[in-house]
Amino acid sequence: MSQISKFDMASKTIIGQCPEYSQADTENAIEAAATAFPAFKALTGRERARLLRKWHQLMMDNVDDLAILLTLENGKTLAEAKGEIAFAASFVEYYSEEAVRIYGDTIPASIDGKKILTLKEPVGVCALITPWNFPSAMITRKAAPALAAGCTIVIKVPGETPLSGLALAELARQAGFPKGVINVITALKNTVEVGSTLTHSSLVQKVSFTGSTAVGKLLMKQAASTMKRVSFELGGNAPLIVFGDADIDKAVEEAIASKFRVSGQSCVCANRLYLHESIHDEFVRKYAAVVRRFKVGSGLDSSVSQGPLIHERAAQKVDSHVRDAVEKGAKIVVGGNFVPSLGPTFYLPTILTGMKANMLLAQEETFGPVAGIFSFSSDQEVVSFANESDVGLASYLFGKDISRIWRVAEALQVGMVGINTGIISDNAAPWTGVKQSGIGREGGKYGIEEYLATKTITLGGLGGHLKPRI
């Protein structure tokens, strides 16, 4: 069997290898999950909750090792990696608490003598396909609710970051999950055939995918062949709007976190920053002062704030957005180039001003450390700028006038709005997009519903109501 070699993202030295699984291996994993399903489904919610709690505990006991592995294979800083492991574990804890709270309804029937009940049942074998930008959290955000519901799973981890998923699966084994309940497929070269196998298999009942909109569309088409349930968490192009009455220092701090965490490689990272003309210059001056202090380098170096991007293609895309903007009249305030001394995947944190709607950055997700700054003069104008996108995942608003904030939050065509905060990730909150940012929700009480089917039971022949004796 051929192997995938994994390199430390900063030094490019080899850190490990894992199998390049094929269509046949994927079919075996699906079979294993299907075989394990009846017994796993039959466990009580309390039993599944205990397994999840143990898994959560093992993740937290091993947070340092998991974080080092994550930094090595993804490039994000160690502080960010530790944050991600805690975030990943938080989904496991949350859904250990939901596993015992899966309720059906009793529904008054329209016809006398009948009763209607609903049962919530696990949908069956689920294929979970996850991206490299959050190699641990994007797995547990799917796996924890699926397992809490009683589903068995086949996880297709990204070829760029397979090791974190394997480490999580080993900890799940140690936690006591029965054989066949959690299966991991690693593939890089064979990604397309593995994806096709998962989405066409008649044993797989559900596909949950996080990744780009382009791949999401392909998987949706493939999953249609067997009418699978689907959940898609796809790309974004988040607008961040600062109104004239905002607390500028706070908005700068939060906009830094929103734009530059994981070097701009989160689906909810602010991509387009819209500043009211009255505070534009002050914001840019303060924002640039912070960004100039950033240090780019290996994520393992504690003085570094920005690690490498995932691959050369990603860095080239970032640079193409910067070049395109400059050609069309934008000005580079900070950064604007690669860091050749570190290698082709390192890009300087960049601020561009004078952005216009015809620039690539305005139209597509940059997925890198570039803040494109636009100026606006009225609420209506900024809402129409922000909505000029075929995706609608996250957005951010900064200001004090609550009636304006509310009006704009309602008018934005997005799944999530952060108000006076640049960080909206929380295991308890529904994570969701509109337009081409996806279908379905992850997290919170809604996340588990994606893995449950509602069965309606109608009891007949019950007769009428008892008549009171007179």
Ligand X SMILES: NC(=O)c1ccc[n+]([C@@H]2O[C@H](COP(=O)([O-])OP(=O)(O)OC[C@H]3O[C@@H](n4cnc5c(N)ncnc54)[C@H](O)[C@@H]3O)[C@@H](O)[C@H]2O)c1
Beta bridge partners of 229: 206
Q: How far is CA 11 from the centre of its chain?
A: 27
Among residues 95 and 134, whose Cβ is nearest to ligand O=CCCC(=O)O? Answer: 134
CB 198 → ligand O=CCCC(=O)O: shortest distance, Å?
A: 21
Residues in contact with ligand O=CCCC(=O)O, shown as a per-residue x/- string from 366 to 405 under the rule CB under 6 A: ----------------------------------------
Instruction: Count the site residues for ligand O=CCCC(=O)O by CB under 6 A.
Output: 7
User: What's the helix, strand, coil split of the chain in %, to 5?
Assistant: 40, 25, 35
CB 437 → ligand X: shortest distance, Å?
A: 6
Name residues contacting ligand O=CCCC(=O)O, limited to 228-287 (CB under 6 A). Answer: 266-268
| Contact of residue 218 among ligand X, ligand O=CCCC(=O)O, none (CB under 5-8 Å per partner type) | ligand X
**What amino acid occupies position 118?**
T
CB 91 → ligand X: shortest distance, Å?
A: 13
The sign of the CA dihedral 409, 414, 418, 422 is: negative
CB 269 → ligand O=CCCC(=O)O: shortest distance, Å?
A: 7
91 binds ligand O=CCCC(=O)O (CB under 6 A): no
Among residues 88 and 223, whose Cβ is nearest to ligand O=CCCC(=O)O? Answer: 88
Residues sharing a CB contact under 8 Å with residue 61, sequence separation 6 or more, in sequence order: none
CB 258 → ligand X: shortest distance, Å?
A: 14
Residue that is written with structure tokens 């066949």 in the block: 180
CB 207 → ligand X: shortest distance, Å?
A: 9
Identified catalytic residue from 73, 93, 98, 233: 233
CB-hemisphere CA count at 13 Å for 168?
A: 31
| Contact of residue 447 among ligand X, ligand O=CCCC(=O)O, none (CB under 5-8 Å per partner type) | none
Which H or E run contains 225?
Answer: none
Name residues contacting ligand O=CCCC(=O)O, limited to 122-141 (CB under 6 A). Answer: 133-134, 137
**Where on the phi/psi map is residue 440: left (φ > 0), alpha (ψ -120 to 50), or beta?**
left
Cα 222 to Cα 201: distance, rounded to the nearest angstrom: 10
Which H or E run contains 459?
Answer: strand 452-459
Among residues 131 and 336, whose Cβ is nearest to ligand O=CCCC(=O)O? Answer: 131
| Contact of residue 132 among ligand X, ligand O=CCCC(=O)O, none (CB under 5-8 Å per partner type) | ligand X
| Contact of residue 130 among ligand X, ligand O=CCCC(=O)O, none (CB under 5-8 Å per partner type) | ligand X
| Contact of residue 425 among ligand O=CCCC(=O)O, ligand X, none (CB under 5-8 Å per partner type) | ligand O=CCCC(=O)O
Cα 265 to Cα 343: distance, rounded to the nearest angstrom: 18
Pairing state between β 391-392 and 434-435? antiparallel
In the complex, the residues that contact ligand X under the rule CB under 6 A are: 129-134, 138, 156, 158-159, 191-192, 195, 210-212, 215, 218-219, 233-236, 267, 365, 367, 393, 431, 433, 438
Cα 127 to Cα 138: distance, rounded to the nearest angstrom: 13
When CB distances to ligand X are compared, the closest residue is 195
Among residues 269 and 284, whose Cβ is nearest to ligand O=CCCC(=O)O? Answer: 269
User: If we measure between CA atoms, which residue out of 141, 144, 86, 150 comes closest to residue 120?
Assistant: 150
C-alpha dihedral, 460 to 465 to 466 to 470, nearest 10°: -160
Q: Say whether 98 is catalytic.
A: no
Name residues contacting ligand O=CCCC(=O)O, limited to 407-426 (CB under 6 A). Answer: 425
215 binds ligand O=CCCC(=O)O (CB under 6 A): no
- Burial of residue 204 (CB within 10 Å: 0-12, 13-18, 19+) is buried
Residue that is written with structure tokens 């898609």 in the block: 232
Which runs of E-coded beta strand occur in 258-385?
270-276, 331-334, 338-339, 343-347, 350-353, 370-376
Taking every pair of Cα atoms in the chain, the longest distance, rounded to a whole number of angstroms, is 95
CB 363 → ligand X: shortest distance, Å?
A: 14
Among residues 304 and 434, whose Cβ is nearest to ligand X? Answer: 434
Q: Which residues bind ligand O=CCCC(=O)O (CB under 6 A)?
A: 133-134, 137, 266-268, 425
Query: Which residues does the annotation mark as catalytic?
Result: 233
